[in-house]
Amino acid sequence: MGMSIKYLFMALVCSAAFCLPAASQNADRRDVRRGNRDFRKEDYKAAEIDYRKALVKDSTSFAAGYNLGNTLYRMEDREQAGKIYDRLKETADTSPYAADYYYNVGNVVAGAENWQAAVDAYRQALLRNPSDMDAKENYIYAKQKLKDQQNQQNQQNQDNQDNKENQDQQDQDNQNRDDRNDQDDNQNQNNQDQNQDRNDGQGQQGQQPKITPQAAQQMLQAIQAKEKETQDKVNKEKAQVLKSRQKEKNW
């Protein structure tokens, strides 16, 4: 079998066990045999109807349920095929067709990229039929896809963690910057208040006290009296000097 994924996962078990014979079950043999004939002719819609009729008559029929699940898979209704397979799980474990059953289950979940379930299903198929090379190839492929998926998830988690740490650091840096700006604003406000206080003090010191006209007149008279006293003293000293000089001249 080639390694083309589409081929691997489209390759359901097509051995005689794929369409289980009606004789091995209690379901209506005629409906199951008719469904098998329609399936081989690739008339999957008619086969679906036949198998569902058989299940109406015997809901426990493994052959009818298994073949119906395979038919739905061929019709690309993998979701419904998976549901049919799930109903058969307990019966399949004790069935001689368990290996084929788990192989087909692996194909369904692999198509949905549920790689962990695919690995588990193919492992179960190999445990029951180790010589199934198709199951082995699909098992290896599913394991690799699961590993890639886990690595991608781990990388995404790491990226999310790095982004969160970067955001936290950025938030902290912004908070520190805001705190520094608040401190600078407070300092500037304090400086402005101190400058205003100094300006107010200087303004008060520069203002001259107001003097009433009466006080101004008294101050003027006092100054004039002081000047007259000073002038009289100067004139008296000059007279003494002149008198002394006259004596000197007489000598």
Q: What is the mean pLDDT of residues 127-152?
A: 96
What are the structure tokens assigned to 230, written together? 């000073």
Q: Could you tell me the fold of the domain covering 5-150?
A: 1.25.40
Whether this prediction's pTM lies above 0.85 is answered by no
User: Residue 186: pLDDT band by 50, 70, 90 thresholds?
Assistant: confident
pLDDT of residue 244: 41
Q: What are 209-244's pLDDT values in tens digits?
A: 567 888 878 888 888 888 888 888 877 766 555 444
Q: At what angle do helices 133-206 and 98-111 cross, to 10 degrees?
A: 30
110 CB burial (10 A radius; 0-12, 13-18, 19+): buried
Task: Please say whether the beta carbons of 119 and 135 come within 8 A.
Answer: no
- Domain boundaries along the sequence of the chain: 5-150
Task: Provide φ and ψ at 237, rounded to 5°.
Answer: -65, -40
